[in-house]
């Protein structure tokens, strides 16, 4: 049972580590016409648009630059690090 839970935790940590990278890829897709309308762009949009929406409501664009995405990326990356630390420090020791 512990091995199964450890494998699940490893999968969750793997996803947590790759989410900021995927968010960055989603931001880069906005620079290329039609990239966000591709299948991958739509999948990433479903994942990240709900995260970005509150930041866009709070932080207005400066000229033609939308810095809310940058702020969201920094906050998201910090949150993923905190979540990883919490899992490593509190959940993994419970398994052993």
pLDDT, tens digit, 9 for 90 and up, residues 25-66: 998 888 888 999 999 999 999 999 999 999 999 998 887 777
Residues 82-87, mean pLDDT to the nearest whole number:
90
Structure tokens given for 94: 């419970």
Q: According to the model, what pLDDT value does residue 60 have?
A: 86
Q: According to the model, what pLDDT value does residue 53 have?
A: 93
32 backbone dihedrals φ, ψ, rounded to 5° = -110, 125
Pairwise CA distance, residues 21 & 44, whole Å: 11
pLDDT greater than 90 at residue 16: no
pLDDT greater than 90 at residue 17: no
Residues 61-86, mean pLDDT to the nearest whole number:
87
């Amino acid at each position: 049972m512990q091995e199964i839970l450890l494998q699940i935790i490893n999968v969750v940590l793997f996803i947590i580590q790759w989410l900021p990278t995927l968010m960055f890829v989603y931001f880069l897709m906005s620079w290329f016409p039609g990239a966000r309308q591709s299948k991958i762009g739509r999948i990433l949009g479903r994942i990240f648009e709900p995260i970005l929406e509150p930041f866009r409501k709070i932080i207005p664009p400066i000229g033609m630059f939308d810095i809310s995405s940058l702020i969201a990326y920094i906050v998201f990356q910090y949150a993923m690090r905190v979540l990883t630390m919490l899992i490593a420090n509190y959940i993994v020791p419970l398994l052993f």
